[in-house]
Structure 1
Amino acid sequence: MPSDVSPTESSESRPQVEVEVGPVAHGGHCVARLDGRVVFVRHALPGERARVQITEGEQDAPFWRGDAVEILEPSPDRVASVWPEAGPGGVGGGELAHVALPAQRRWKAGVVAEQLQRLAHLDLQVEVEGLPGDDERDGLGYRTRIDLVADAEGRAGMHKHRSHDVVALDTMPLATPEVLALAERERVFTRRWRPGTRLELVAPAGGTPPVLLVDDAVWRAGHLDKRPNARRSVVENVSLRGVEHTFKVAADGFWQVHRAAPLVLGEAVLDAVGDVQGGRVVDLYSGAGLFSLPLAHAVGDGGHVVAIEGDPRAVKDARRNAHGAPQVELHHGPVERVLARGEHAARGGADVVVLDPPRTGAGRAVVERVAALGPRSVVYVACDPAALARDVAYLAEHGYTLSTLRAFDLFPHTHHVEALAVLTR
C-alpha cells in the first residue's frame, strides 16, 4: 500500500525503549508515554509491557512512532499472528493480525465511541458486528480485491507501513480462495515482474470470471491481452430482500472489498431508510450503484432516486447498471456542486438522503446542502470514524440527532471499521 510519509532515517539508527502500552487510538496503534513524550506503538495491545523499536521521530520531537518488537508482558487478547509478514517492519494492511478477532472488534468499537465523544460530544456504547463467515475463517480469506507491486527484484509484494519500500510475499492471507487461485494460475507470486509493476487481482464473490490487471492492462494466460475489447470489468450479483441486483463494475473501479459487504451494507441501508415507497431519495457518492439500485426498488415506479457521483468510471458503470431502473436519475460531478445547481428531481426536497463518502467524509459544505434538502432522515455510511463524528456534529447544527449507529468489521486484521449512522430531526 502506498505511503504518505517515509521515516527520515532507518529504524536501525533509532533507539529501542521499554514502555507500558496504554489505550488504543485511531489509526491502528496504541498510546504509550515515555518521559513526557507520547509514543504511538503498533503491533501491541493495551496493558502490555513491550520493547519498542522507534521508527520515526527526532530526539526532541513531541511524539515518536514505533513497533513493538518484543512483548515482555503479553495481553490475554494476544494470539500468534495470522499474517507474520504484516508484523514489525513488514507490510502495511494487517496491523491487528496479532489480536484475537473478538478483541479486534472491541478495539474498533472503542475507537468509534472515542471519536464520537471527542468530536460530536456523544456518549454511546458501540458494538462492532462481524460479517457472515468471518468467525469460521478467523477473519481470513475475505478480500475479493488485492493490490500488489513488484520489488526491485521483480517479486510481487506490498509496501511497508508508511514507506515506499516493498516486501515480497508468497501469498496474501486476507484474499479469498478465488483471488489466490487467480494468483497461482498466473504465477503472480513466483513470476519475476518488471520492478515497480502494479498488479490488481479481482475475483467477484459471485463466482464470475476474475480479472488480473498489470499496470492497468489486462493480463491473461501469461501475457498481456492487447485486444481492444479485452474484458476489464467484472460482474457482481447481490440479492437483497428477494431481488437479485446485477452490477457490472470496472475491475479497477471502486467496489466493497469484503465478499459479504455489499449484502450486509445493502440490507443495513434498506433497514435504515425505512418505507420510502413513492418517495424521493438522494444517494450521494453513489459509485457504481450499490445502493441506488435497491433504493430504486424501494421507492417503486412512483418514486425517484437522485444519484450523484464524482468519479467518471463509476458513473459509466452506474449508467449501465441502472439501465432498467428509470426512476434513477444519475448525475456526474462533485457532490456539493451538483447539489448547489439544483438541476435534479430532489431540488424541492428529499425524504431521505443516503451518503457513502470517501475516507475524508462529506464535510461542512456538503452537510449544509444535505440539510437544505430537508430530509426526515440522513443515512450516513462511513469508513472513517473521525470523519463520521465530525459530520455528525455538523448535522447536529442543523437539528439532526443521531438515532441509530451500527458498526461493521468489514476489514478484519486491520484497524479499519465501517459504520452506518441514522440521523433524524
Structure 2
Amino acid sequence: MEAVVSDTLPTPTPIVIRDGHVLLPDGTSRIIDVVVRDGRIAVVGEDATVVGDEEIIDARDQLVLPGLVDTHRHMWLGSLSAGSSDVTLFSYARQVNEGHGDLFTPEDVYAGVLWGAVQAINAGVTTVADWAHNLGSEADIDANVRALYDSGIRARLYFGGKASSSGDHSRYEAQARHLHATHAPHRVGGRIALGLAVRGPSMATAAENDVEFGLARDLGLPISLHAGMAGLPGAVDQLGSQDLLGPDVNYVHANEFTEQEWKQVAESGGTVSATPTVDMTMGLGALPAVGPALDHGVPVGLGADTVAYGPSDLFTEMRLTLAAERSRANAEPISRGEMPGALRHSHLDMLDLATRGGARVLGFADQIGEIAVGRQADLITLDLSAPHLDSFDNPVLAAFLSAGARDVDTVIVAGRILKRRGTLADSLLRKAHLEVRRSRARIRERSL
C-alpha cells in the first residue's frame, strides 16, 4: 500500500450555512449565517452576502456547532466495534489487542482505521487523536496514515506501535523516524499532525522512559501516555524525578493522580484526556479526571478510547462526564444528609471540553474548536426537528441532553462536506464498508 505523498485535493467549494442556530464562542446561540471559503470560516453574521459560487446549506431548525474533538481513540479498533464488554483492562488487552490485533496485516489496519474514522465522522467528530499502538511495520504505519487521509478527518496520529510495547527500541526509533520523514504534516495538507505514544512509567523502566521521551523531543513531536489508572500509580512522580515533565506531555485517563501529581502536571503545562465510559465501566478509576483537571487549571478533553468496548460518539461522553462530576461534587453534602446548595459544571462546560478543550489538548487551539472567522471550517449541524430534540427556548441544551450520531445532519472538515442530510458521502461509506467486511472475514479466518 503506497504512502501518502501529498494532499492534492482541489480547493473546496465555498459554502453558506444559512439561518442556523449557531453556537458562538461566548456560549450564546443566534440564528445567523456562516460562510466558508478556502476551507476556513470567512463570515459569521446575519444576511451574509452570496456571490453565487457557494453551496447553500439550509440550516433552519438546525444547530450549528464546532466539530467535536476526540482527544483519545484507538482508531484501528474500528473494525472490532462492540467486540468486548464486562472485562477489566488486562483481560480486554488479551482478548482484543492480542487476540485480534496480532492478526492484523496492513490491509486490516487500513480497514480498521478507515471504518473507525467513518464512525467518528458520522457522530460529528471532526478531529481525533489516533493512539496507534497496533502497528508492527512501516507498511502498517503507511496504511494507518493513508486511512486517516482518505477518510477526510482531521487527526493527530500518536505513534506507539508494537515495537514500543515489546521494548524493541531500535525498531521503534526507526519506525518513528520513518513516520516523521514520510508523513510530515506538510505532506498531508496539514490535516494530519504527528506525535509519539509512549509506554510511560506504568509499563516501562526509567531507562526506557529516557529513550522514548528523548526520541519524541529529538523529533519535535508531542507525547501521549496512559497514566493514573487504578493499580498503576506514580507515573507523574516518576517522570518528575527524571525531569521528563513538560507542556508537550498528554496524560490519558489520569483518574487516580495524587494531589502532588496534579500540581506537577499543572506546573509543567501538561494536558489530560479523559475517557469517561471506559474509565468508569472498565474500572480504570472511580470517576473521570475532568473535575480535578479543571480545578488545577490543566487543559482537558474527552475521548471515546475504544469502540470495541464503548460508544463511538462524544455526546454520550459529555453527558456521562456531567453526571459523574456533579456526583463527585455532590457527595459531601449528600453524605451529611443535605441537598446540594448549587450544582457544579454546566452543559456548556461539557461542550467546551468536546470542542475548545480538545483543541487545546491536541495543540490545535488556534485552528479549530469554535465558530469564529479565520478558523478551519470544521463544523457540524444537528437536525432539531425530531421530537427528542425539541426545546422550549434552548436548542443547545436540548442537543446536549438528547443528541446522538443519528441527529448529525451535516459534517464539514476543512471546508469539505463529509456528511449531508444525515448521510455520509456515498463513496466514503461504500469504500469503508467494503474494506471492513473483507478485513473482518480475514481476521475471523485467521483466528480459527
The two structures share one fold, judged by TM-score above 0.5: no
Which one has more relative contact order, counting CA pairs under 8 Å at least 6 apart?
Answer: 2
More strand by percentage: 1
Q: Which has the larger radius of gyration?
A: 1
More helix by percentage: 2
TM-score between both structures, scaled by the size of structure 1: 0.27
